[in-house]
Amino acid sequence: DVRVLFKTSIIGTLFLVFTYGIFIPNNWRRAALVIVPMALAPLVAPSLLGLTSPSFLSVSEEARTFDKITENSLYLVLGAVTAVFGTHTINTFRKEEFRARRLNQYHLTKKLGTGGMGEVYLAEHQLLKRPCAVKLIRPSLSQKPRVLARFELEVRATARLSHWNTVEVFDYGRTEDGTFYYVMEYLPGLSLQELVDRHGPLPPGRIIYLLCQACDALREAHQAGLIHRDLKPPNVFSAYRGARYDVAKLLDFGLVKPIKEEDSAVVTREGTVTGSPLYMAPEQIMRTHAADRRTDIYAMGAIAYFLLTGRPPFLGKDSMAVMVAHARDPVVPPSRLRDDVPGDLEKVVLRCLEKKPEGRYQNAEGLACALSACADAGSWSPVQAEAWWQEHEPRVLVRTIESSSSDQVPDPASSPSDPTRAEVDAPTFGASELEAVSEPSTAGRIDLTLSLGEDETRPERW
């Protein structure tokens, strides 16, 4: 019976509309974009079927009278409006709950961003009234032992470090509902990724000024037996701390690896390459040997290259193409992309980006010394840093305290993820490809039309 068929389709559509409105977190605009087409489907589908099947059109004429169409349209419109309003109401309650949410002594006030394993919120300690950043592991990942192990490793690794240029961890715990979290210092400022995205490549002196600080933090981590393995512009922050500007801070030790790796075997699956393809060292990709200090030196060189030129050393159509380029292709000298690159700084960057670890600086101290020996090493000072921030980014620094008491709570469905870190199957190369990797091509081909992930590298503001 065609009438029964239409009635069933109306009931089924209303069920889907209400299910979406109740169970899918969203704001009312996004919900309407999904619910309205869903509600129109039972009205439009018979006409489309009639165009392809005249026999269906003749059989369905009786069920598609004006009265029936009006009645069905009324049901669907009321259902769609109710579902959209319900989505708005539920989303409002969710925001109110978020405003009141507390993690022990910490009151969450604003979402700052989303990382590979969790979300980062601006929070305030209830007694000290100090702004801080709280990282929560995603509920969908909290049942995965490998993810929990990585989360704990990040916390413990960061807590072991006390250098001024490493983000400080204040607390770590688990809530009554099973949510894992840890608390860090809140950093007003911008990541190196944001600095370049907003203001273009940095002056050579400023690059040296920031990277020397990062090297100091990296040296402490290496002396503690920790390899970062995920150094990239979003994970190095230029912050305002202790009345000083352009204080470099290392973030996100989620992929840190102890030099003696017995305790971290559960963290990364065998047969996968984990990291950020745009800044990954060849040995991480080829797995020719275990990652060590020189792996981080390569990433530091890639960061310096990005700060000088505004683009990573290698680009490609996808993550695999970029990783193959890191392992095989020669680096285009920064001076070919920017005219005013100092020769001494370019030599330092290119040495960091040597394919073989033996050709790089062997530790962070060696890299820092090489940077300090460059002619532009003293051309950027704290006074210049303060003047730059006051002129170009005054609002970034002013909002640090204001945001801790803000009542604005972002839409939980609108936070961007951070896909710059990828975990992919390790590439397997044939004999000819291995030969090509061992003898880099001299073509030096660059693809300036595609910048993999440049618009996706929005950092967590810790």
Cα dist from 97 to 86, 107, 171, 173, 409, whole Å: 16, 11, 23, 21, 10
To which residue do tokens 């000083």 refer?
244
Picking from 197, 188, 141, the residue whose alpha carbon sits closest to that of residue 167 is 188
- The structure tokens listed for 430 are 């044939």
Q: Which of 1, 216, 230, 292 is catalytic?
A: 230
**83 in Cβ contact with 35 (< 8 Å):** yes
Residue reference for tokens 């990062």: 214
Burial of 93 (0-12, 13-18, 19+ CB in 10 A): exposed
User: 278 near 326, Cβ under 8 Å?
Assistant: no
230 is catalytic: yes
The CA distances from residue 247 to 63, 192, 209, 443, in Å, are 72, 11, 9, 39
Name the residue among 345, 334, 353, 347 with its Cα closest to residue 374.
345
Active-site amino acid positions = 230
